[in-house]
Amino acid sequence: MTLELEEIRGQENALDTTDRVQIAGTALEELLVSAKKQDYLTVGVYESAKVMNVDADNVAFCVLATDEEYECDIALQIHFTLIQAFCFDNYINVVRVNDIERLADLVGTDETGEPKDAHCILVTSPGAGSWKDPALDKLHLFCEESRSVYDWVPTITLPER
């Protein structure tokens, strides 16, 4: 059995993609934990829209989460489209995560002890460039590499617990 060069490259790219997604998933988890400790997270669709409207310059990263239960929620999908457009216009990287329960675990609960609405999470930074995080740098690189292959809103899988 002989493999053509294109087949070998295709296999290498598939492995590279899997590795990239795993690294990005770990980086996202690290970023969310770190940003939560610093109080640099905005959680919730409406809360995120308010922050982006008032202070878009301090938004460093955006995470949109969905699962099968919400795929048919037209209002949520419209919000996602508007948030993505706003992020693109303001050069804010956006990723999707298909495990909303895991995201909700990472961002915690509200004042009443209820899980927060993790459909949209913004990582903010007071003062442009004042907060540096290696995980954020990895995610920015992941998004840049994804855009180079026309994947404008890449999907990330969070690591298993």
CATH of the domain at 132: 3.30.1330.30
Segment (H or E) for 155: strand 155-156
| Full residue range of the structural domain in which residue 23 is found | 2-156
Query: Does 161 map to a domain?
Result: no
Q: How confident is the model at residue 127 (pLDDT cuts 50, 70, 90)?
A: low
Interval 27-73: pLDDT, tens: 999 999 999 999 999 999 999 999 999 988 899 999 999 777 777 88
Query: Does 45 map to a domain?
Result: yes
Q: How confident is the model at residue 90 (pLDDT cuts 50, 70, 90)?
A: very high
Query: Does 148 map to a domain?
Result: yes
Those residues whose C-beta lies under 8 Å from the C-beta of residue 95, and which sit 6 or more positions away, are 24, 28, 61, 62, 63, 64, 139, 142, 143, 153, 154, 155, 156
pTM, full prediction: 0.83
Query: Does 64 map to a domain?
Result: yes
The residue among 91, 96, 32 whose CA lies nearest residue 64 is 96
DSSP classification of residue 21: H
Query: Does 152 map to a domain?
Result: yes
Total tally of structural domains belonging to the chain: 1
Give yes or no for residue 82 having a pLDDT over 60: yes
pLDDT of residue 94: 96
pLDDT of residue 101: 87
